[in-house]
Amino acid sequence: MGPYYQASPYTMAPQQMMGQQHQQHHQQMEHQPTTQPIVVYPVDPYVVEAFKSLIGKYVVLETTRGRIEGCVKQVKPDHVVLEVHGKMCFVRICEIVWIMPS
């Protein structure tokens, strides 16, 4: 058997097969680039659609920090823009408990 001989799976003992598979797995992992963490933004599509139907209308929002009343100006996947007493207020959708059109 020369230096390039590789045993076939049929001539190897089960322990040898497991060891070879384990070694191949680690060799593959060494050549893969390191991955960066994936940032996940929660999106609530039903709430976004509900807000889109309320653009230009006056609403009352209950948030985890309290109640806000204003006119819906813009809707984005993660926040809504309300005009409150002439000033723009950006509210994260994930902080909204309920919405009441008025």
Provide the residue ranges of all domains of the chain, joining segments of one domain with +: 45-101
Closest by CA to 55, choosing from 75, 69, 70, is 75
The one-character DSSP state at 35 is P
In this prediction, residue 1 carries a pLDDT of 52
pLDDT at 102 over 80: yes
- The tens digit of pLDDT for each residue in 14-39 reads 555 556 665 665 566 566 667 888 87
In this prediction, residue 59 carries a pLDDT of 98
Distance CA 30, CA 8 (A): 24
Mean pLDDT along residues 67-78: 96
Class level of CATH domain 45-101: mainly beta
pLDDT at 3 over 60: no
